[in-house]
Structure 1
């Protein structure tokens, strides 16, 4: 480690009180989904309630909206504590012109919601996102008579039930979605495991993004050289500098048979130690990219959302 390159302090730019500032300023936040989506709850949990929400049907649209300047930030789910990583989203972030500037962990409470007057006994079909259905597998095992239909979004399914006045049809979604669309919660907290958290990343255009003060976490992506021990050599300097690798995920590289790219999250106490370890590891990589350096976030319960403050573009 003696020969590792030490990054000069002037190369590290930190913006004081970033999260405090953005909470005081009204921002447009892009989310995947419609009103009542868990992405909206994550946005409120991170930025506060005085925001404008820009709804995007797909994650690619979310990326595009921030890149094009239609919104200031994007909030994107990347991982769930029960079902694992959302692998395509890591690829979208890596290939985008955005930078990770924050994160939030949101406790996910799933509810069975339907039109007013319905009950669990009257439901014959449930439409919801496949991840939401998977998180409630024990509930549905006790109700084999209910047909499960995968849809693109939890809150969008709630919206469709309300607009089409569907009978005998329910969705798995948040209480906020039920409130937004005038539906009824007919079974609450049906998730199989109450320790159900989703991690969301906060994204901003690289050209204007700044590293928040107090940053103690980084997301990187890299490919290892095709030589024995290269992955070990990449990971070694982080361990030697007391840097905790909180996540390591491999993804196949499209068009390259049996070749993989790695995504890693690293928690550190000293930014200097992090950059020093990174420069040492770089010599054993074919490619290496920092997706963002930011402040780690505690796990939170679902926030209260004030309808008078949250607006929609």
Structure 2
């Protein structure tokens, strides 16, 4: 009898889940109509004041229904983020007519299961057209695939919250004619991946990408006398462990990636920093236009004249035009000892007045200046509720 009652309850839950999905699909359709109105009337995608009012109302309604305010807040943060990203994607398509393709050929590092593979899947899930995955073994190969026309896009990791900037990618950007057309931040959750039945105490050899070893250095120190063998990608490490089927080897990578190769995670959260994220950029042969309603980021490279204070003077141009810089990276210029190329990420659209003024000034005071790309900001900050603490008391 209890089993029958449980089945009946589960049937009701399944029915409710179907209703929820239908309602979410209807809501998404309405947000697309909202995007159309915003295009016609040049209205910004986000209205933080309205979002705050919406959340406050929903929290109060939830409390009356016996729902925890934190639960309601987290649920609608996800819904709002999805709505914003869908609206931005639609606006971007309308601003770039003819850019949609039935097939998106995308080059990335590694094979199925690598973090670049997972980031590629995530980014192009919001883009129309089928996805053709082109796994590569080096950043040079990835860039060459797009420059030669064998791929339409490339997904490249540019920095990690734990191990910092990926210098090889910055060096490739210095010499390529490709443009940055997008970005995304992807959570990196490192796990110890083994064949079935392998115990952590028996592991003698560990395979992973060099960046992964750097991000998990504390775990490696705790592991003790284990040989580390670098691989071209996390997926390459998984493939090796899958093929060896040994009780003494393991790989470090994502649990989702490991499952594609029949590996299971016996220890998780291996990174030094538990909030571990990688930022990826998407590059293509042609640049994109970003509608002014969509928050944009622009990546610049420049080399300053060789005089004291030259870099400071260049950065003051950004302040004078009220442009926020989110990243400054320097890399040596090949063939020019002791000279640096500076990479800057700034919040701003090259079609906007302040950015145009800043770029004109920078072109006039630098030895070399180039825009690597202007693209939508896809990291959606959660709506902040000023009165949330009072509501939750």
Would you call these one fold, judging by a TM-score over 0.5?
A: yes
Partner of 1:44: 121
Distance 1:222 1:74 in 2: 23
Aligned-residue CA RMSD (Å): 2.2
Checking the alignment, whether the CA contact within 8 Å between 1:242 and 1:268 is kept in structure 2 is no
Normalised by the size of structure 1, how large is the TM-score?
0.85
Matched, 1:72 2:152: yes
Checking the alignment, whether the CA contact within 8 Å between 2:107 and 2:155 is kept in structure 1 is yes
Partner of 1:137: 217
Q: 1:299 to 1:79 in 2, by over 3 A?
A: farther
Checking the alignment, whether the CA contact within 8 Å between 2:139 and 2:168 is kept in structure 1 is no
Given candidates 271, 290, 311, the residue that maps to 1:212 is 290
Distance 2:269 2:243 in 1: 24
Deviation at 1:237, TM superposition (A): 1.6
Q: Which structure features the higher share of strand residues?
A: 1
Deviation at 1:177, TM superposition (A): 2.1
Partner of 1:104: 184
Checking the alignment, whether the CA contact within 8 Å between 1:224 and 1:284 is kept in structure 2 is yes
Partner of 2:331: 251
Partner of 1:6: none
Larger radius of gyration: 2
Distance 1:106 1:47 in 2: 13
Matched, 1:33 2:110: yes
Deviation at 1:26, TM superposition (A): 3.7
Partner of 1:304: none
Q: Which has the higher contact order (CA 8 A, sep 6+)?
A: 1
Secondary structure at the counterpart of residue 307 of structure 2: coil
Matched, 1:173 2:247: no
Checking the alignment, whether the CA contact within 8 Å between 2:298 and 2:375 is kept in structure 1 is yes
Runs of 4+ in 1 over 4 A off after TM superposition: 19-25
Aligned length: 284
Checking the alignment, whether the CA contact within 8 Å between 2:154 and 2:284 is kept in structure 1 is yes
Q: Gapped runs of 5+ residues in structure 2?
A: 1-88, 382-393
Checking the alignment, whether the CA contact within 8 Å between 1:76 and 1:201 is kept in structure 2 is yes
Query: Which digits, 9 at most, give the CA deviation of each residue in 1:213-260, with x for residues without a partner?
Result: 225210010000122332122111211111111111111112211111
Q: Gapped runs of 5+ residues in structure 1?
A: 1-14, 301-313
Q: 1:63 to 1:140 in 2, by over 3 A?
A: same
